[in-house]
């Protein structure tokens, strides 16, 4: 949500104030991208203030825009830049440069943007020249909220109505955020439509706690002995609570308490305690709802009675690292009974985990999964390159210490 709040704040006319902004490296890449295009953005603690003249007043960046490790920034910004009448050069770190961008460049090229990049235009570094776009109806080939959002963002600059058809529902923060900034967007079944040429208006909003970040501590509390934990002020958008639904299917004692709505987003508290788990199959329509949390589900499955099978998750092979292989390698080092499948993994439990030295593979979610595994290992877990966690959760170890003392 922090990414999207900055994007729409920069495209909206007037002043936008964002409270509780996530100061991870990824989100700050989005901030810097718009600063390079002339948007005035000021940060005071976790509050961001944006002054913008609107979506059509961005300036051509003088230097390449560096997205670092942020796939969200890269893909959503391609949608924004598709509608800008200037040329931009886009770069990223080694990991991001290995992640495919053609799932976004293909539709925005059909709308009228010109892009080029490595290996047939699929990978960063990449150049893009935007301009006048034509609307389109686009059926997503894969379930991806990032691709959906990129096409909808491009649709804001098209003359007419752009429609995205998704196979199954993905997270809908973009749609809710558009409404929060005074825009109109409609949904009928799996069809999401947006009218181009809308003028968004600056607003003030508060970003709730991120459920993906909270899920690490939820999982830790489930697995640790004699544990009870309440996590307050978390976004409870139903397109993001798949991790909680799956953990409850496995037997976890989790209770949700909605306390308020912020910017059309339900917000509340998560109550969780030590629980006995059973193995299940996770596949099909559930996968898009838990794709980022599958490393945690694999860890939980090592302590579940019986076999857990995760299928239809081949998308994991195209994240910051090949997360299927990374999860299998890390948990195997710790003693788990886990094998990789082409599109997922199979875990048999319960298994007592030992400690050991593991790699984070430069992937923030793998690093945090390994840290949570230390709740239940017999010896300590040493994590190589733990600083990668700063990409999404710079206060992770501080918060970890606060709940384990």
Q: pLDDT of 4-35, one tens digit each?
A: 999 999 999 999 999 999 999 999 999 999 99
Number of structural domains the chain divides into: 2
pLDDT of the residue at 262: 83
Residues 104 and 234 in one domain: no
How far is the C-alpha of 65 from the C-alpha of 43, rounded, in Å?
20
Residues 199 and 235 in one domain: no
pLDDT of the residue at 164: 98
Residues 258 and 399 in one domain: yes
Out of 26, 66, 292, 363, the active site residue is: 292
Given 140, 173, 206, which residue is the final one in a domain?
A: 206
Say if residue 102 carries a ligand binding annotation: no
| 246-267 average pLDDT score | 93
Quote the mean pLDDT of the chain: 96
pLDDT of the residue at 113: 98
pLDDT band at 405 (very low <50, low <70, confident <90, very high): low
Q: pLDDT of 374-396, one tens digit each?
A: 999 999 999 999 999 999 999 99
Residues 228 and 180 in one domain: no
Residues 161 and 30 in one domain: yes
| 37-53 average pLDDT score | 97
Say if residue 146 carries a ligand binding annotation: yes
| 140-157 average pLDDT score | 95
Residues 198 and 218 in one domain: no
Given 191, 206, 221, which residue is the final one in a domain?
A: 206
Instruction: Tell me which residue range forms the domain holding 91.
Output: 2-206
Say if residue 317 carries a ligand binding annotation: no
Higher per-residue confidence, 263 vs 18:
18
pLDDT of the residue at 128: 98
Residues 243 and 106 in one domain: no
How far is the C-alpha of 78 from the C-alpha of 64, rounded, in Å?
13
| pLDDT above 80 for 301 | yes
| 292 assigned to active site | yes
pLDDT band at 166 (very low <50, low <70, confident <90, very high): very high
Residues 356 and 390 in one domain: yes
Given 206, 221, 245, which residue is the final one in a domain?
A: 206
Residues 82 and 101 in one domain: yes
| pLDDT above 90 for 261 | no
| pLDDT above 70 for 258 | yes
Say if residue 53 carries a ligand binding annotation: no
| pLDDT above 90 for 320 | no
How many percent of the chain have pLDDT more than 70? Answer: 100
Say if residue 29 carries a ligand binding annotation: no
| pLDDT above 90 for 404 | no
| 65-93 average pLDDT score | 97
Residues 163 and 221 in one domain: no
Say if residue 289 carries a ligand binding annotation: no
Residues 194 and 303 in one domain: no
CATH number at residue 105: 3.65.10.10
Q: Which residues contact 119 (CB under 8 A, 6 or more apart)?
A: none
Residues 107 and 233 in one domain: no
């Amino acid at each position: 949500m922090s990414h999207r709040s900055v994007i729409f704040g920069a495209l909206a006319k007037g002043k936008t104030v964002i409270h509780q902004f996530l100061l991870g490296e990824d989100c700050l890449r989005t901030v810097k991208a718009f600063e390079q295009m002339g948007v005035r953005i000021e940060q005071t603690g976790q509050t961001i203030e944006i002054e913008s003249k609107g979506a059509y007043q961005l300036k051509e960046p003088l230097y390449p825009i560096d997205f670092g490790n942020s796939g969200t920034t890269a893909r959503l910004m391609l949608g924004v830049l598709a509608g800008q009448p200037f040329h931009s050069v886009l770069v990223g770190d080694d990991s991001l440069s290995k992640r495919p961008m053609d799932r976004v460049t293909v539709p925005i090229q059909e709308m009228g943007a010109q892009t080029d990049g490595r290996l047939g235009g699929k990978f960063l570094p990449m150049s893009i020249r935007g301009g006048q776009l034509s609307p389109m109806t686009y059926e997503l080939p894969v379930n991806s909220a990032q691709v959906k959002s990129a096409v909808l963002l491009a649709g804001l600059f098209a003359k007419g109505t752009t429609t995205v058809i998704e196979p199954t529902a993905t997270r809908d923060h973009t749609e809710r955020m558009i409404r929060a900034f005074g825009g109109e967007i409609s949904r009928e079944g799996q069809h999401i439509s947006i009218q181009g040429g809308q003028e968004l208006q600056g607003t003030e909003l508060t970003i709730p706690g991120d459920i993906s970040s909270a899920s690490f501590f939820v999982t830790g509390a489930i697995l640790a002995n004699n544990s009870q934990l309440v996590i307050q002020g978390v976004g409870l958008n139903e397109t993001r609570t798949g991790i909680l639904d799956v953990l409850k299917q496995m037997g976890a004692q989790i209770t949700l308490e909605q306390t308020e709505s912020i910017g059309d987003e339900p917000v509340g508290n998560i109550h969780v305690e030590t629980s006995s788990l059973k193995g299940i199959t996770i596949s099909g329509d559930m996968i898009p709802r838990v794709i980022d949390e599958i490393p945690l589900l694999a860890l939980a499955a090592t302590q579940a009675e019986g076999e857990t099978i995760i299928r239809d998750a081949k998308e994991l092979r195209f994240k910051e690292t090949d997360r299927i292989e990374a999860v299998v390698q890390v948990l195997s080092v710790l003693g788990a009974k886990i094998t990789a499948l082409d599109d997922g993994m199979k875990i048999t439990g319960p298994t007592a985990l030992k400690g050991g030295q593991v790699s984070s593979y430069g992937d923030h979610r793998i690093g945090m999964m390994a840290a949570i595994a230390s709740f239940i290992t017999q010896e300590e877990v040493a994590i190589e390159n733990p600083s990668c966690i700063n990409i999404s959760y710079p206060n992770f170890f501080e918060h970890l210490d606060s709940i384990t003392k």
